[in-house]
Amino acid sequence: MRLLLFLMFIFSSLFAQSYEEYLRAQEQAFSSFKEARDKEFSEFLNKEWKAYKEAQGERAYDEKKPEVLPKAPKKKILSQKKKEVIKKQIIAPLPPKKKEQVYKKIVILPPSENIKTLYTKFFGVDLQIHHDKSMAISMKKNISKDKIASAWDSLAGSEYETTIRELKIISKTLRLNGWADYLLVKQVASAIYSNTNEANIFSWFALLKMGYDAHISYQSHKVILLLPIEGNLYNTIYYTLKGKKYYAVDYYAKGKIGSIMTYDNGYKGANASLDFSITHLPLFAESKEDKRLIFRINEKNKAIVLSYNTNMLRFFQSYPQVSYENYFSSAESILLSNSIKKSFAPLLKDKGQNEALDVILNFVQNAFAYQVDDQQFSMEKVMFPSETIFYPYSDCEDRAILFTYMVKTLLNMEIVGVKYPNHMATAVRIDEDLEGDYIKAENVKYIIADPTYINAGIGMSMPQFKGSTSYSIVSTGGEK
């Protein structure tokens, strides 16, 4: 009897232990993926991938830009056609902007003391990003779809939530656009993982979790991140999946990649393309730098000092060449805006629109040395206003963008970009009736203003573009 009871006790204990192990196994199987969409995506990744051929991103100009600039034969302030038209006085420049709250440090408390802390600086902002050791993956060589699918499973089953939550909080706090989100994720990934392939896998995973339609691809020895773009990304390899372009954003202006293996399905809830527009500046820490510039006005040298935020400058410098609208309509640092107003308000006092425009034109034409991008950067690079202030040289589109920014900042006038096959100028909507060259944009007349045609006044086109109809209009976000 005692033996029977003893055997029953042993059996029940073994059964209980086996049942607990069974429950644990079931729970682990259920929780290996934190979301149902992760499991569904994993099943897709384990299916057949396809080979895709590369396509080269388009170039911004059909023809080579001129390396030597013409000079206008004579500086000319154009007169009014009708004497009875009273000269309109410039409205006072917009008042200086108030500084917004910016961030030097963002600290988010970790949910556990056992989690690792990554310390990094992102455009002047000190960050603490927390990550769990369960996020470890290995992707060193002999890349295959099976290895990538396995890495996805590992990340999807890891304690990734803290890291993704913090990335989203930082993005919202600093008011990041899509490109800044990408840079943040890449910087964190490169700090956590030991090689580029592993960092790209995590970047893919994190961007999907943040809502971006990221794709991953591979060749035998490397993993390549692919992203769709809002607008254009020039001179960059892309691959077309189901009629949609996905760019190898890490390979801007770096030549060929070749065929890759990837998938063409999407991850549920991740539909966003990478947005490069800067309608509001990121709230990066302020770091002031001054630049002294000289130009001639009224037969005398005039020195002015313009200021910019070096953290914003480095962000602008990170940009590949994207749609021109992004540069023409971009917000800029308050430091630059206020220093422009302080320097030019006295020079524009009591001047009519055409006179004020000529002063600004004269500054942009003569305060900067000209050099095409191929000579300065060995590739095409379009500059935001802060960059044109910073770099020793600039070319036509850089000057057009800076001139546009100054006209908006100082005069609050409507202006558009005018892109020729190998040149960029601008045109302004002006109240005064002036002689000169005009273009039409949406049935509205704009007078030509060319910031690269040295000493040319308002209404003067470079000789080779005078009367040309081979141009397109670039929106600056400021026309009504």
pLDDT digits (tens, 9 = 90+) for 353-381: 999 999 999 999 999 999 988 889 888 89
Q: Percent of the chain scored above 70 by pLDDT?
A: 86
Amino acid at 352: G
Res 240 pLDDT > 50? yes
Res 168 pLDDT > 70? yes
Amino acid 167: pLDDT: 98
Res 139 pLDDT > 50? yes
Residue, of 431 and 174, whose pLDDT is higher: 174
Q: Distance (Å, rounded) from C-alpha 289 to C-alpha 326?
A: 24
Res 30 pLDDT > 70? no
Res 384 pLDDT > 60? yes
Amino acid 70: pLDDT: 72
**Other C-beta atoms within 10 Å of 40: how many?**
14
Give bridge partners of residue 223 from the DSSP assignment.
218
Residue 479: band (very low, low, confident or very high) from pLDDT cuts 50, 70, 90:
very low
Amino acid 436: pLDDT: 93
Amino acid 123: pLDDT: 97
Compute the average pLDDT of residues 297-325: 95
Tell which CATH classification among 3.30.450, 3.10.620, 3.40.50, 2.60.40 matches the domain 288-474.
Answer: 3.10.620
Instruction: Report strand pairing: 415-420 vs 423-428.
Output: antiparallel
Res 15 pLDDT > 60? no
**First-to-last CA distance in the chain?**
98
In SS3 terms, 376-437 reads as HHCCCCCCCHHHHHHCCEECHHHHHHHHHHHHHHHHCCCEEEEEECCEEEEEECCCCCECCC
* Token code pair at residue 26: 């079931």
The helix (run of H) or strand (run of E) holding residue 105 is strand 105-106
Residue 88: band (very low, low, confident or very high) from pLDDT cuts 50, 70, 90:
low
Compute the average pLDDT of residues 287-304: 93
Q: Distance (Å, rounded) from C-alpha 472 to C-alpha 45?
A: 43
Asked which of 78-87, 99-108, 372-381 is least confident by mean pLDDT, the reply is 78-87
* Token code pair at residue 96: 């200086």
Give CA separation, 165 vs 46, 178, 205, in Å: 27, 17, 13
Domain extents in the chain: 50-57+101-262, 288-474
Amino acid 473: pLDDT: 96
Amino acid 20: pLDDT: 53
User: Going along 170-273, which residue ranges are E strands?
Assistant: 215-218, 223-226, 238-241, 244-247, 260-262
Res 76 pLDDT > 50? no
Residue 109: band (very low, low, confident or very high) from pLDDT cuts 50, 70, 90:
confident
Look at residue 365 and give its three-state secondary structure. helix
Per the prediction, the chain carries an average pLDDT of 87
pLDDT tens sequence across 245-272? 999 999 998 889 999 999 999 999 999 9
Burial status of residue 96 (CB atoms within 10 A of its CB: 0-12, 13-18, 19 or more): middle
Contact 400, 334 (CB under 8 A): no
Compute the average pLDDT of residues 77-89: 43
Residue 92: band (very low, low, confident or very high) from pLDDT cuts 50, 70, 90:
low
Compute the average pLDDT of residues 387-402: 96
State how far Cα 228 lies from the chain centre: 13
Q: Distance (Å, rounded) from C-alpha 280 to C-alpha 91?
A: 25
Amino acid 6: pLDDT: 44
Closest CA to 152 of 188, 225, 206: 206
The vertex-372 CA angle with 368 and 378, nearest 5°, equals: 125
How many helical (H) and strand (E) elements, i.e. helices and strands, does the chain have?
A: 13, 18
Dihedral sign for Cα 27, 33, 39, 43, please: negative
b/e code 129-162 from CB counts within 10 Å (16+ = b): bbbbeebebebeeebebebbbbbbbbbbbbbbeb
Amino acid 141: pLDDT: 81
Residue 26: band (very low, low, confident or very high) from pLDDT cuts 50, 70, 90:
very low
Q: Distance (Å, rounded) from C-alpha 257 to C-alpha 56?
A: 10
Res 87 pLDDT > 60? no
Res 453 pLDDT > 60? yes
Contact 313, 300 (CB under 8 A): no
* Whether this model's pTM surpasses 0.85: yes
Res 209 pLDDT > 90? yes
